[in-house]
Amino acid sequence: MAMERIWDKILPLLLPQNYRLITFDWPFAGTVKDQNLYDPVKYSSVEGFADDLITLLNKMDLKAVTFVGHSMSGMIGCIASVKSPQLFKTLILVGASPNDYEGGFNSSDIEQLLSNRETNYENFASGFASLIADPTNEVSTIFYSDWREILDKVETPCTIIQTKKDAAVPHNVALYMENKIKGKVTLEIIDTLGHFPQLTAHLKFVEVLKGALAS
């Protein structure tokens, strides 16, 4: 997901385990104040974000990291792992999709979604559905990319975390990725609905996440 806030329920449950945790906002999150940092040519492809991830890890002198990517961020991690495999120990892909199943989100979208989630889950679900179907979204060209051909180049071990029913990324997408990724893949299904298990079933999600981190 684009915003750090999506992990607010998860981080406090991982910090006591002495993990070194690094979170950040992607440029398409709408939280970057200096709009001059956004290069529309570079970011017309998901590969531009993968290059940013590689640069970030190199600048922090990090290697063999476990990357947790939700939604399209999962594919960004896959691309980065192919380009710089030494930087990644494992990839944890949450509701990820290599094809055009989902749309982009900006900061106001997320704030509204989170607000609806707390007060009216029906509005939360319907709001998310309208967002993923909106072709006018400013980053829809990124999220409608097709990166299926990258999967058989991903050699980094992966854990795919999928909810029992996700309208944005159907179950067959997780099965497709499990079969196509070249490296070792573990598929974990969480018994909850929706595209945001870190919000809707965060305790179950943390349990699965800890298992993936320990493996």
Q: Which amino acid is at 195?
A: H
Cβ-in-10-Å burial (0-12, 13-18, 19+) of 39 comes to exposed
Residue 87: Cβ within 10 Å count: 19
Catalytic residue, chosen from 51, 109, 140, 166, is: 166
First to last CA, the chain: 24
Per DSSP, the three-state class of 150 is: helix
- 191: CB partners within 8 A, 6+ apart: 164, 201, 204
Catalytic residue, chosen from 70, 71, 81, 109, is: 71
Catalytic residue, chosen from 51, 70, 109, 195, is: 195
195 is annotated as an active-site residue: yes
Supply the residues annotated as catalytic. 71, 166, 195
